[in-house]
Amino acid sequence: MPDETKPVSSDDAVDRRKFFAKLGLGSLTIAAAGTAAFAYQFLEPNVLYEPSPVVNAGKPDRYPLDSVTLDVNSGIYIIHSQEGYFSLSAVCTHLGCLTAWKPELNLIACPCHGSKFERDGKKIEGPAPRPLPWKRIWLNDDGDLLVDRSTDVPPLQRDSFVRV
Partner 1 sequence: MAITKTIDQYFDDLRSTRVWRSVFRSGTGSSTLHRALAIQQNVFLHLFSTKVRARMLGFSATWYLGTLTLGTFLILVATGIPLMFYYHPSAPQAYADTKDLQFVVSSGLFLRNLHRWSAHAMVFLVFAHMFKVFYRGAYRTPREFNWVIGIVLLLITLLLSYTGYLLPWDQLAYWAITVGSNIASAVPVMGNKIHFMLLGGNAVNANALLRFYVLHCMILPLTAMFFVAIHFWRIRKDGGLYSHASEPATLRTNAAGSDTAAKEAQ
CB-based burial, 31-41: b 16+ in 10 Å, e otherwise: eeeeeeeeeee
Residue from the set 24, 26, 34, 96 that interacts with partner 1 by CB under 8 A: 96
49, 103, 104, 142: which one binds partner 1 (CB under 8 A):
49
Cβ nearer to partner 1, comparing 12 with 49: 49
* Residue 143 sits in the site that holds partner 1 (CB under 8 A): no
Decide whether 49 or 65 has the Cβ nearer to partner 1. Answer: 49
State which of residues 43, 72, 159, 163 lies at the interface with partner 1 (CB under 8 A). Answer: 43
Could you tell me the smallest distance in angstroms from the CB atom of residue 57 to partner 1? 19
Number of amino acids touching partner 1 (CB under 8 A):
11
> Which residues 99-118 are close enough to bind partner 1 by CB under 8 A?
112
| Least distance CB 41 / partner 1 (angstroms) | 11
**Judged by CB under 8 A, which of 97, 107, 109, 153 binds partner 1?**
97
CA distance linking residue 137 with residue 81, whole number of Å? 14
Binding site for partner 1 (CB under 8 A): 43-45, 48-50, 94-97, 112
